[in-house]
């Protein structure tokens, strides 16, 4: 098989993934638009005016990077997991076994599709945040380190997209998938420093929060946007790469050992 033919199935699956979430534009664009507006209005505007940050930044500026990464990670996870689950339910997942796709190609096609959706949601959140910041602060929130920002967005999105693949292969019902999202993913996101600085935590909770990998992903994006964060950017980058490696390995094991049977 030629190199071109070897990669044709990969790009076909990737195109299918992008078209799939493109058909549900309300969930892709309108929902994050409303959610980010509510978060910014309630926390950034209403409560944020009474919160003073120790580094001289406004609370709204502190909040925007966290919301950008939260939306990106959440949608990357949901996109890849919902793709597997819907394929299980419709019986399409069995076709992957007889297709010329390797396990690596399946993982990366689904993961990149999840990242594309996550980046779209993150970009929408950032634009909404800029609107709020302009009317409140009278200026535009600049990007301190664009390449660092892009690195954490892509690596973080790939990590949670591959995690979504693993969870979807593990789940036997829609309820199990929803339970993982509600009881594991969302608490980790909310406790990952989206709405607060870990510098304000009690030393015990500060140590406990340091074991949350999302803390490093979120603060990596915060450093890329603002130029400052609660954790060292180099440490955050190492944790992000390690998280991607671990989640990718789990996803690969899930494809090898998981069931492709129809629900």
Minimum mean pLDDT among 4-18, 117-131, 135-149: which range?
Answer: 4-18
- Tell me what pLDDT residue 262 has: 75
Check pLDDT > 70 for residue 256. Answer: yes
CA distance 110 to 164: 10
What's the mean pLDDT in 206-230? 93
Q: Residue-wise over 232-262: b if at least 16 C-beta within 10 A, else e?
A: ebeebbebbeebbeebbebbbebbeebebee
The residue written with tokens 């609660």 in the block is 230
CA distance 92 to 11: 18
Q: Looking at residue 64, what DSSP letter applies?
A: H
Torsion angle, CA of 200/204/208/209, rounded to 10 degrees? Answer: 0
Q: Name the pTM for this structure.
A: 0.92
Tens digit of each residue's pLDDT (9 = 90 or more) over 51-71:
777 677 889 999 999 999 999
Distance of CA 134 to the CA centre of its chain: 26
**Residues 154 and 111: beta-carbon distance below 8 Å:** no
Secondary element (H or E) of residue 30: none
**DSSP assignment of 152-178:** HHHHHHHHHHHHHHHHHHH-SSHHHHH
- Tell me what pLDDT residue 1 has: 54
Tens digit of each residue's pLDDT (9 = 90 or more) over 162-192:
999 999 998 888 888 889 988 888 888 888 9
Chain-wide mean pLDDT for the chain?
89
Dig out the tokens for 243 from the structure.
Answer: 């998280």
- Tell me what pLDDT residue 240 has: 97
**Measuring CA to CA, how many Å separate 47 from each of 43, 95, 120, 228, 246?**
5, 51, 27, 22, 38
């Amino acid at each position: 098989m030629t190199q071109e033919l070897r990669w044709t199935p990969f790009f076909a699956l990737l195109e299918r993934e992008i078209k799939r979430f493109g058909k549900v534009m309300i969930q892709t664009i309108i929902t994050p638009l409303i959610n980010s507006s509510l978060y910014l209005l309630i926390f950034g505007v209403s409560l944020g005016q009474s919160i003073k940050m120790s580094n001289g930044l406004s609370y709204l500026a502190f909040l925007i990077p966290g919301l950008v990464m939260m939306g990106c990670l959440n949608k990357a996870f949901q996109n890849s997991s919902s793709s597997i689950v819907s394929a299980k339910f419709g019986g399409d997942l069995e076709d992957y076994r007889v297709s010329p796709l390797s396990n690596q190609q399946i993982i990366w096609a689904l993961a990149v599709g999840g990242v594309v959706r996550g980046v779209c949601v993150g970009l929408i959140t950032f634009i909404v945040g800029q609107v709020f910041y302009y009317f409140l602060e009278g200026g535009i929130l600049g990007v301190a380190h664009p390449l660092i920002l892009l690195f954490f967005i892509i690596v973080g999105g790939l990590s949670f997209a591959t995690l979504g693949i693993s969870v979807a292969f593990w789940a036997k019902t829609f309820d199990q998938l929803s339970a993982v999202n509600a009881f594991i993913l969302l608490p980790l996101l909310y406790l990952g420093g989206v709405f607060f600085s870990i510098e304000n935590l009690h030393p015990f909770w500060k140590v406990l929060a340091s074991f949350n990998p999302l803390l490093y992903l979120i603060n990596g994006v915060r450093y890329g946007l603002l130029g400052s964060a609660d954790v060292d950017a180099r440490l955050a980058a190492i944790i992000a790469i390690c998280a991607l490696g671990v989640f990718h390995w789990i996803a690969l094991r899930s494809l090898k050992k998981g069931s492709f049977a129809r629900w």
